[in-house]
Structure 1
Amino acid sequence: MNQSVLLPVGAVALIGAAVTGAVVIWSAGGSSDTDALALRPDDLEIVAHGSQVYAENCASCHGADLAGQPNWRAAGPDGRLPAPPHDASGHTWHHDGDTLFRLTKYGVGQLIGDPDYGSNMPAYDGILTDAEIIAALSYIKSTWSRDIRDQHNAMETQE
């Protein structure tokens, strides 16, 4: 083969290896355009790692107990919303895993299509790996009651 063919083939092989290595992140069950994010709240190893990732990257705003910041529904003097809780009192569980993943990785502005949206929530792309984001979200989900987890699971299977 000539080099002009080898480079694209090599890139495809690397991408394939990366996707294969990330199988824990994406669940099989549809075309690549419709694959859903699979949080793993029952996987004790992932949840333990997620607890550590959460403590190091999220707890300073969202609280060690996942309770969020006070008055999280009201914008502060800077016009930005405080960090919401991730426990049952918040709205995290109202969003599917894919939305939570994209919000965490790319930030609120990109998620809603408004690059000028002001948020104190940083985008973790380049800071946390996809597996670390999945672990943190899996940890959060693991703390929800069985009823809320069941509602979240049902919502994700409807999409």
Structure 2
Amino acid sequence: MRKELRTILWLGLLLGGLILAILVGWHQVRTASTTASSAKVIEQGRQVYADQCASCHGAQLEGQPDWKTPLPSGRLPAPPHDAGGHTWHHPDDILFRIVKEGTAAIVGGGYESDMPGFADVLGDAEIQAVLAYIKSTWPERERGYQKEVSRRD
């Protein structure tokens, strides 16, 4: 009986170790795949940003000069998307809608903005990629804050 118990215990440990090894390996493959996928999305977003956004928001995400001071038209200049701006204060769903529908459509109440909606130019995946690229440039503190704001929304 003791020998059978030892054999069962040994097989249980062996099986448990095998399952653990499979799970760890799967997690590593999944993490590597996610990292590669994320890098691809960020690179796509960088290119879309350069093509569609940089002319107003700056090649380095710096925004237009005096972006907090209204222009003669009463509209605000394009804000920066780097850590010095306010983009990271907004949750993901609002950022997505601003890019897709335009600022005026989101703010409402007759608010006027030079920021158009890109629904006819960019697909949802491209908008998500642009946002991923912008977020990838923020320091950890801003990324963490924005992630938390998005979680609450």
TM-score (norm 1): 0.71
SS at match of 2:119: coil
Aligned residue type for 1:102: R
Partner in structure 2 of residue 145 of structure 1: 139
Aligned residue type for 1:95: H
Partner in structure 1 of residue 118 of structure 2: 124
Q: If you compute each CA radius of gyration, which structure gives the higher value, 1 or 2?
A: 2
Distance 1:157 1:107 in 2: 23
Give the structure with the larger helix fraction: 2
Stretches of structure 1 lacking an aligned partner (at least 5 in a row): 1-39
- 2:91 aligned to which of 96, 103, 109: 96
- What RMSD, in angstroms, separates the aligned Cα atoms of the two structures? 1.5
Distance 2:82 2:72 in 1: 25
SS at match of 2:51: helix
Structure 1 residue 92: Cα displacement: 0.1
Aligned residues: 118
The question of 1:82 aligning with 2:81 is answered no
Distance 2:135 2:101 in 1: 20
Structure 1 residue 117: Cα displacement: 2.7
SS at match of 2:131: helix
Stretches of structure 2 lacking an aligned partner (at least 5 in a row): 1-34
Moved over 2 A (4+): none
Q: What percentage of aligned pairs have identical amino acids? A: 50
